[in-house]
């Protein structure tokens, strides 16, 4: 019996769309409008911050395998919800490497990051 993930572009039973054999993006984009397709951001990561629970780094390559390669960045980010509490993320940033600048990893360089969705304005105290 053959493995279903061994045929095609690397499709596995858990992914909805096949992963095409494309090279990662060559350089970090200087600015994000939100109207970029996910395939143009292949190789980067999204850093999502939940309002109360946690933070997570999500690979754009894996996101594309679940929502599609032609989906716009804004449309994909609008679908995000925390698995723990169900709320949308407070902020989303495009980052180049999830391990750069992480605790315990002596990389010597900082993450490159661009804000995709900013934090909401603070509530006024009454």
Structure confidence by residue, pLDDT tens digits, 34-74: 888 888 888 888 989 888 788 888 888 888 888 888 889 88
113, part of any domain: yes
pTM attached to this predicted model: 0.72
77, part of any domain: yes
Higher pLDDT, 93 or 3: 93
126, part of any domain: no
38, part of any domain: yes
Please state the domain count of the chain.
Answer: 1
72, part of any domain: yes
Determine contact, residues 52/87, Cβ cutoff 8 Å: yes
35, part of any domain: yes
104, part of any domain: no
Tell me which residue range forms the domain holding 44. Answer: 30-98+109-118
- The secondary structure of residue 40, as a DSSP letter, is G
| Residue whose C-alpha is closest to residue 101's, from 70, 65, 55, 69 | 55
Q: How far apart are the first and last CA of the chain?
A: 66
Q: Cα–Cα distance between 94 and 76 in angstroms, integer?
A: 13
């Amino acid at each position: 019996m053959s493995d279903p993930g061994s045929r095609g572009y690397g499709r596995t039973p858990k992914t909805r769309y096949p992963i095409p054999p494309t090279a990662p993006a060559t350089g970090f984009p200087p600015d994000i409008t939100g109207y970029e397709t996910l395939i143009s951001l292949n190789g980067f990561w999204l850093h999502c911050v939940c309002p109360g629970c946690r933070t997570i780094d999500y690979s754009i390559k894996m996101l594309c395998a679940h929502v599609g390669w032609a989906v716009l960045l804004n449309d994909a980010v609008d679908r995000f919800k925390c698995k723990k509490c169900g709320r949308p993320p407070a902020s989303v940033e495009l980052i180049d490497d999830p391990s750069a600048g992480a605790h315990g990893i002596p990389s010597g360089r900082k993450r490159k990051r661009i804000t995709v969705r900013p934090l909401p304005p603070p509530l006024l105290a009454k």
